[in-house]
């Protein structure tokens, strides 16, 4: 395992200097799940949740969260994101799978942006449906894939 880079030689937190790194195309994909009562999923699919279209609001929340990752995670670099896709897929009888794909041409990766997208999208589903199902479970969230940069390609084992 490589050395942690967010601490200096005195143990103080620091933002890693990426100025000398090569700009490459970088991609990260992450997933998360929201498990709920089957009746809750049916309400979502029938567009009968009073707060609105749950899947579209959660998709938008995930996209917006991607752009705000550096505001939420203290040592993340602000990035000019090239593209974000957030896909919410209902899985019967009571689960929604969330996948985000984030792309950038930059000096640092977008793993945290992809993980933030799927996490905030899941939290949005919870928020919109908590009036009918407070027992929803979020997770597990995980990185599925990352590419670009000198550490190379990572693909999660299923």
Q: Please tell me whether the overall predicted TM-score, pTM, comes out greater than 0.95 for this model.
A: no
pLDDT of 3 > 80? The answer is no
pLDDT in the model for residue 22: 87
The mean of the pLDDT values for the chain is 93
Which of 82, 85, 127, 133 does the annotation list as catalytic?
A: 127
Banded model confidence at residue 92, pLDDT cuts 50, 70, 90 = confident
Burial 93-106 (b: 16+ CB within 10 A, else e): ebebebbbbbbbeb
- Catalytic annotation present for 53: no
Average pLDDT over residues 72-90: 96
Looking at residue 151, its pLDDT comes to: 87
Q: Which residues contact 37 (CB under 8 A, 6 or more apart)?
A: 94, 133, 135
**Who contacts 154 (Cβ-Cβ below 8 Å, separation ≥6)?**
143, 145, 146, 147
> Could you tell me whether strands 83-91 and 95-106 are parallel, antiparallel, or unpaired per DSSP bridges?
antiparallel
């Amino acid at each position: 395992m490589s050395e942690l880079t967010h601490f200096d030689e005195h143990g103080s937190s620091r933002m890693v200097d990426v100025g000398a790194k090569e700009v490459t195309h970088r991609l990260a994909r992450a997933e998360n799940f929201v498990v709920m009562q089957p009746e809750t999923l049916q309400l979502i699919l029938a567009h009968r949740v009073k707060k609105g279209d749950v899947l579209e609001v959660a998709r938008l929340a995930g996209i917006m969260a991607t752009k705000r990752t550096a505001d939420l995670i203290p040592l993340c670099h602000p990035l000019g994101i090239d593209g974000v896709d957030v896909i919410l897929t209902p899985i019967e009888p009571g689960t929604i799978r969330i996948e985000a794909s984030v792309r950038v041409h930059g000096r640092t990766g977008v793993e945290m942006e992809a993980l933030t997208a799927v996490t905030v999208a899941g939290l949005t589903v919870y928020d919109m449906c908590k009036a009918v199902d407070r027992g929803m479970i979020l997770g597990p969230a995980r990185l599925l894939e990352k590419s670009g940069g000198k550490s190379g390609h990572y693909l999660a084992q299923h």
